[in-house]
Amino acid sequence: MSAVADWQPRLVALVCNWCTYAGADMAGMARRTQAPNVRVVRLLCSGRIDPLIIVTAFEQGADGVIVSGCHPGDCHYVQGNLLARRRLTIFSELMDFLGLDRRRLQLAWVSASEGVKWSQVVDEATAAVREAGPLRGFGRPAAGAPPVRFPERPSAPRPAPAPGENEATATALRERAASLLGGGEVAVVAGYAAGSLPGQMVPTFVSDAAGTEVLDWNERCLANLSVYLPELLRRDGRVGMVVKSCDAKAVLGLVREHQIDRDRVVLIGVPCTGVRPDGRLAAKCYPCAEAVSPIADMTAGTAPAGPRAVAPDPRDAEIAALAALPADQRWDFWQGQLGRCLRCYACRAVCPLCYCETCVTDRNRPQWIPVSIDGAGNTAWNVARAMHLAGRCGDCDECARACPADIRLDLVNRRVASVLEARFDYRPERAATAPPPLLTFLPTDPDGFR
Amino acid sequence: MDGWRVSDEQLEGWLVSLLDGTRRVVAPVAEDGLTLFREVTSADEIRLATRHPRTRLPAKETLLPATEVLFSYRLEAGGVALEVPPQPSDQVVIGLRPCDAAGTARLDEVLLADSHYADRRRRTALVTVACTSAGPACFCTAVGGSPGGTEAADLQVVPLQGSWLVRPLTDQGTTLVAGSAEGWPEASDEDWMAAEGQRRAVEATITTEPIPSEWVRGLAERFDAPAWQALAERCLGCGLCAYVCPSCACFDISDAGGALCGSRCRTWDSCGFRQFTVHAGGYNPRPSHLARHRQRVLHKFAWFPLEHGALMCVGCGRCVELCPAGIDIRQSVVRVMSG
């Protein structure tokens, strides 16, 4: 096809005003020849390059994107490029996981005097993108996504609770809740009650001791109740909440981000053997070593003594299986998944850390995330969601549970979390003491820029 | 009554004949562990038998696409060039459950006035499969439907023991089987009775009480009932319930592009979103989860039936099953009426 033979890669360069733009200018003044495939967009600082700008470039037809700014230590705004370094490291790993060929996203530090380096960056990036070929389209592949064979999940490290265990916890829970409400310590207790479907447990809010009878506990108590905390606190002032250890990391996050006052929340820890949404132990429960959350203010019943059996998170093997695929196949897999996204935003609604009054996707001046419910818009939304939760996600998996299209958001979150741990030594538990990892930096952070 | 009793092979032969390239064929297929409506190119992909679960999402997308370009524009030397995307080809949607087809009838009430929808609808034939079992969230009989319902269907396929009862319901349905039906044996009285018995048996397993017709007015009068407060308490404000609903028809229109070129898009929208009603000046007439959940319930069970007769809920149970907060629209109706 002649269209392919005539194909020329299109690259967008997002560059900082103070260093790289001047460097590119220098290359021009020095009459250096360089590939003509790059359109330069000048921004004030590499720290202002939101991942959505990069996604938008790809959506609108770029085959490759160059991001460039001042060398570390040389930022016009002191630290913008050091924040950019962390953010873009996570972003490029995320995009690699989503199947974007690594050659398509080029990161470089170019100072105002490095005209020669700039022209080299342009030539090399253009050659690399030319080699990678035209960007694969957004949206569900016409031939369907490739079937990815995930490894069989190993059997659960722990058995389901013994008969009577749940009932004992539930009884203790009701007593705790009744005493908190009766004593006026809290005005409302958020817990779980039987829903209308067989076996279903749903969030419930109890405001008086007599009402605590509806509270119950079993391995179908899936919801992370901390999503309700800010609103309940606004309404009722003091709140008791039933907490599983996986939910507690979101509470830490809300405290860290000043969304709730920890002193007005009483956390009732439940001894949890793991949730079983469809009879099988949830993946997130395999490695969980904490029967009762260490930040709980009290325990309903008694925490089991001694350490308990854990196993590696089976999703790590699934992530490894995806990571082992060629990038194009991984792209097709994820475009197949994201192609199902309805943009119902259930993932956002159930997320305790998605508390923004107005979400970036609801902003329309400018409209960074296309409203169209199709490949490009769905990719932009899901990338934005993952990036905004990077280092803030408490790993409760509520987004993946809520998704009506079964998009593997849990794999996306977990991949981002594992990069954060590997590169920046950050884990969700550290929300108690450390700042969100993308809002800070170390001069010694690993550097993937050329 | 016209109908045939056909074997698995005859049914498959008919499905293959539909796939002769003259129309788009959409049917339930397996994808990543889900059953979803997709365009199919071979009969092997089609999961018609009701032992397969009901599709996770309805077939609404085939008539009201999640995103549809209404027109695109381009600035040219002589002025602005407008382009309306090419009209869709004929399509047949196979394997809808009776509730899904009833949902289409509700969409018709709202959307037939729109030329894009009307054109697609006219070129679409609906083939339903009668249900042989009901899920825990199914409640079609409570809202005027039936596991053997025929509303809006052009052709109905009833799974019987080891064979299928094929029953055209409209001229379009008759045309669909015209080439294949010549060799098919007529269905006997026993076959019809078996289908009827099956329908009753499935109906008997649906325990949700039928919604009395006087509740339509009753609900409308209970706009300010205190019961709403507790019902909406755990709503998280996502748009899932509307997006998985076969009869929700609300949409948004937005322009994408710039001065030189762009397009006007219609996308699904949901009354569950805060943004659905927020005004440019910031005022929001439905400012709370309560107001938005009430709107959803009343639109389906009061406003729409007051205007069009039928309830706007077809009892497929998808919103009940998939709501991440466990909200059950059946309970909402009952509690408001009893509270």
Substitution target in A322, A337, A358, A371 with the highest count of B β-carbons within 10 Å is A371
Residue ranges with strand state E in chain B: 4-6, 24-31, 34-39, 67-76, 79-83, 91-96, 124-129, 155-160, 163-168, 251-257, 261-268
Decide which of A299, A327, A348 is a domain's last residue: A299
- Contacts of A207-213 with CB under 8 Å at 24 or more apart are A207/A181, A207/A236, A208/A181, A209/A177, A209/A178, A209/A179, A209/A181, A209/A182, A212/A174, A212/A177, A212/A178, A212/A181, A213/A174
This prediction has a pTM of 0.95
Q: What is the mean pLDDT of residues B327-336?
A: 96
CATH number of A115's domain: 3.40.50
Sheet holding A265-269, edge to edge: A201-206, A188-194, A239-243, A265-269, A298-299
Same domain, A94 and A208: no
Min Cα–Cα distance to chain B from A342, Å: 7
Q: State the Cα–Cα distance between residues A234 and A187, nearest whole angstrom.
A: 11
Min Cα–Cα distance to chain A from B280, Å: 12
Same domain, A289 and A235: yes
Block mean pLDDT (10 aa), chain A, length 450:
76 97 95 95 96 95 97 95 96 97 96 96 97 94 84 94 94 98 97 97 97 97 98 97 96 96 98 94 96 96 89 97 96 96 98 95 88 92 97 96 97 97 91 92 90
- For residue B309, the model assigns a pLDDT of 93
Question: How confident is the model over A64-81, as pLDDT tens digits?
Answer: 999 999 999 999 999 999
DSSP track, A210-275: GGGGG----TT----GGGGHHHHHHHHSSEEEEE-HHHHHHHHHHHHTTSS-GGGEEEEE------
Decide which of A245, A279, A299 is a domain's last residue: A299
Min Cα–Cα distance to chain B from A402, Å: 5
Give the model's confidence band at B75: pLDDT under 50 very low, under 70 low, under 90 confident, else very high.
very high
- For residue B1, the model assigns a pLDDT of 55
CB A238 within 8 A of CB A223: no
- In chain A, which residues have their Cβ closer than 8 Å to the Cβ of B273? 345
Q: Confirm whether A304 is domain-assigned.
A: no
A353's tokens: 């850390």
Domain count of chain A? 3
Same domain, A128 and A172: no
Q: Which contiguous run of DSSP H or E holds residue A12?
A: strand A11-16
Q: State the Cα–Cα distance between residues B150 and B141, nearest whole angstrom.
A: 13
The beta-carbon neighbor of B66 closest among A223, A373, A398 is A373
The beta-carbon neighbor of B326 closest among A200, A404, A406 is A200
CB contact under 8 A, A349 and B236: yes
Same domain, A225 and A266: yes
pLDDT over 70 for what percent of chain B?
A: 99
Residues 6 or more apart whose CB falls under 8 angstroms from that of A175 comprise A300
Torsion of CA A299, A304, A309, A311, to 10 degrees: -10
- In chain B, which residues have their Cβ closer than 8 Å to the Cβ of A224? none
Q: Confirm whether A324 is domain-assigned.
A: no
Q: State the Cα–Cα distance between residues A77 and A71, nearest whole angstrom.
A: 12
Same domain, A262 and A360: no
Locate tokens 């009061």: which residue?
A: B302
CB contact under 8 A, A197 and B32: no
CB A188 within 8 A of CB A289: no
Q: Give CA A436 to chain center in angstroms.
A: 13
Question: How confident is the model over B275-319, as pLDDT tens digits?
Answer: 999 999 999 999 999 999 999 999 999 999 999 999 999 999 999
Residues of chain B numbered 244-283 and touching chain A (CB < 8 Å): 244, 252, 254, 256, 265, 267-268, 270, 273, 275
CB contact under 8 A, B238 and A349: yes
Q: State the Cα–Cα distance between residues B129 and B135, nearest whole angstrom.
A: 15
Please report which residue ranges of A356-397 form alpha helices under DSSP H: 375-389
Same domain, A127 and A169: no
- In chain A, which residues have their Cβ closer than 8 Å to the Cβ of B270? 344
The domain in which residue A411 lies consists of 337-439
CB contact under 8 A, A373 and B67: yes
- Largest Cα–Cα distance in chain B? 71
The beta-carbon neighbor of B256 closest among A228, A343, A370 is A370
Q: Confirm whether A120 is domain-assigned.
A: yes
| Segments making up each domain of chain B, as ranges | 4-205, 215-338
- In chain A, which residues have their Cβ closer than 8 Å to the Cβ of B229? none
- For residue A1, the model assigns a pLDDT of 45
Torsion of CA A248, A252, A253, A257, to 10 degrees: 150
CB contact under 8 A, B270 and A344: yes
B190's tokens: 């026993």
Q: State the Cα–Cα distance between residues A400 and A219, nearest whole angstrom.
A: 17
Higher pLDDT, B240 or A306: B240
Decide which of A132, A154, A181 is a domain's last residue: A132
For the cut 80, the answer to whether the pLDDT of residue B52 exceeds it is: no
B305's tokens: 């039936």
Same domain, A75 and A15: yes
- In chain A, which residues have their Cβ closer than 8 Å to the Cβ of B205? none
> What sign for the dihedral angle of Cα B213, B217, B219, B220?
positive
Q: State the Cα–Cα distance between residues B202 and B200, nearest whole angstrom.
A: 5
